Amino acid sequence: MRYNVPSPLETRIISQRFDLPNSASIDTYLANDGYVALRKAIGMAPEAIIDELRASSLRGRGGAGFPTGMKWSFVPRNTGRPSYIICNSDESEPCTCKDRLLMENDPQQLIEGMLIAGWTIQSSKGYIFIRGEYRYQIEIMERAIAEAYERGYLGKNVLGTGWDFDLYTHSGAGAYECGEETALLESLEGKRGVPRLKPPFPAVAGAFQSPTILNNTETLSTVPVIIRMGGADYAALGTPKNGGTRLMCVSGHVNKPGVYELPLGFPLMRLINDVCGGMRNRKKLKAVIPGGSSAPVLKAEECDIPLDFDSIAKAKSMAGSGGILVLDEDTDMVAVALRTIKFYAHESCGWCIPCREGTTWLKKVLTRFHDGGGRSSDIDLIAELANNMLGRTFCALGDAAAMPTAAFVAKFRDEFEAYLKRSSAAVEPELAVV
């Protein structure tokens, strides 16, 4: 089931089965190209599979946009040690709600993607790390896994190849940081979700210190499509170096928010106006956060860009997780900045000083500022604190907190200053001293 009406402008490849009746059942899957790719992959050499991925220019859908083919090629093969396939279904980046749909509506597609990954590195175990809140989705995945076992796609001697592959779900329990790949691996091992030092990278020493392929749900769900249609054809759907389609999660002040599958390079303004039916209540566009809450905000005039990794990066933001938040002229940017930093302060794992103390300090300053106790020096202070975090934290969560904060202040300084005018403390610098 989907929770929004699909758009005719979509290119539905990984969501092609979403609206079929009983879309999660293996029978539906098998009747609609299901497990064709796995059979094909089994006849391919690992290197050939990786080449297809390279040709597809598929880039990770989890946030960092790392080329998937390259990632798989880093995994040492034939080491004689076990290796693992991990699916990152932690989906906790604010504004992002696509992995959930992939699990709810097409769980077999994800399983097939993991099987192909498993076959490529001859791994025999996979885990789907699903955020704890997604219990319902875990249950769907577990039913799907059971069906796949019944039909011989999982378990001993997959499709008569003599190769065994077991797949399990693993529930998280509420922690955004566990989406960070190494923190996820710690969590998978029953520990606090604190990131690991890199190197070694998960490809070499990942799950249980063994070679590991770790990808986002959508990335893995895309793999069967690529093998089926061929890397080059998939790539052709998108723009150079930004192959194929992705699920774009639009939220905020548009008439038809929803998750839509669109080719990379699809223009942002067309997404807002044509796919999503334009701005709600005919309001004017003020800003867009184009890749989840970690992505620096774009002002309306910066929004005339295609939605692919490189173009958004050129606009000094990032495509991230594909969560696109559209904000209209009435939006209080100080409030959004505050809510954003509250999130990061709440989710900072606390391991390193700049993130742990920086996010909290920013939260406190912004809270006071928002509540009418702002001082003129606060605006620069906020920017400087964000700057003192940037590039200095242990993992990317610190940057994910600092980057948007710095952008809010830099791009909407006038709104911050307007707040000051209403502030009671603007001229009383010692007010809040404790």
Ligand X SMILES: Cc1cc2nc3c(=O)[nH]c(=O)nc-3n(C[C@H](O)[C@H](O)[C@H](O)COP(=O)(O)O)c2cc1C
Binding of ligand SF4 by 177 (CB under 6 A): yes
Q: How far apart are CA 120 and CA 102, in angstroms?
A: 22
**Terminal C-alpha separation, the chain:** 53
Helix/strand/coil for 124: coil
Among 34, 231, 398, 404, binds ligand SF4 (CB under 6 A): 398
Identify any residues that bridge with 31 across adjacent strands, giving them in sequence order. none
Q: How far apart are CA 290 and CA 246, in angstroms?
A: 13
Binding of another protein by 383 (CB under 8 A): no
The least distance separating another protein from the CB of residue 102, rounded to whole angstroms, comes to: 11
Binding of ligand SF4 by 215 (CB under 6 A): no
Binding of another protein by 354 (CB under 8 A): yes
Q: Which helix (H) or strand (E) holds 288?
A: strand 285-289
Q: Which two tokens mark 46?
A: 């690992």
Burial 150-170 (b: 16+ CB within 10 A, else e): ebebbeeebeeeebebbbebe
Q: Give one word for 197, left, alpha or beta, with left for phi > 0 and alpha for psi -120 to 50.
A: beta
Cβ pair 79, 112 in contact under 8 A = no
Helix/strand/coil for 297: coil
Q: Which residues contact 101 (CB under 8 A, 6 or more apart)?
A: 2, 15, 18, 247, 259
Q: Which residues contact 412 (CB under 8 A, 6 or more apart)?
A: 287, 297, 299, 333, 334, 337
Site for another protein in 251-310 (CB under 8 A): 251-253, 257-259, 289, 293
Q: How far apart are CA 346 and CA 94, in angstroms?
A: 13
Binding of ligand X by 106 (CB under 6 A): no
Binding of another protein by 312 (CB under 8 A): no
Up-side HSE of residue 434: CA atoms within 13 Å toward CB?
A: 0
Where does this chain touch another protein (CB under 8 A) — which range of 10-18, 37-45, 49-57, 324-332?
324-332
Binding of ligand X by 400 (CB under 6 A): yes
Site for ligand X in 206-235 (CB under 6 A): 214-216, 219
Q: Which residues contact 73 (CB under 8 A, 6 or more apart)?
A: 50, 54
Binding of another protein by 190 (CB under 8 A): yes
Where does this chain touch ligand SF4 (CB under 6 A) — which range of 70-78, 260-268, 276-284, 391-399?
391-399
Where does this chain touch ligand X (CB under 6 A) — which range of 58-66, 142-150, 258-266, 298-306?
58-66
Residue closer to ligand SF4 (CB basis): 102 or 184: 184
Binding of another protein by 118 (CB under 8 A): no
Residue closer to ligand X (CB basis): 119 or 351: 351
Q: Which does 62 bind (CB under 5 to 8 A by kind): another protein, ligand X, ligand SF4, none?
A: ligand X
Site for ligand SF4 in 324-383 (CB under 6 A): 348-352, 355-356
Where does this chain touch another protein (CB under 8 A) — which range of 33-41, 50-58, 304-312, 319-327?
319-327
Q: Which two tokens mark 430?
A: 């010692």
Q: Which does 293 bind (CB under 5 to 8 A by kind): ligand X, ligand SF4, another protein, none?
A: another protein
Binding of another protein by 433 (CB under 8 A): yes
Cβ pair 24, 140 in contact under 8 A = yes
Binding of ligand SF4 by 394 (CB under 6 A): yes
Q: Which does 219 bind (CB under 5 to 8 A by kind): ligand SF4, ligand X, another protein, none?
A: ligand X
Enumerate binding residues for ligand X (CB under 6 A). Answer: 60-64, 66, 88, 90-93, 176-177, 179-181, 214-216, 219, 395-397, 400
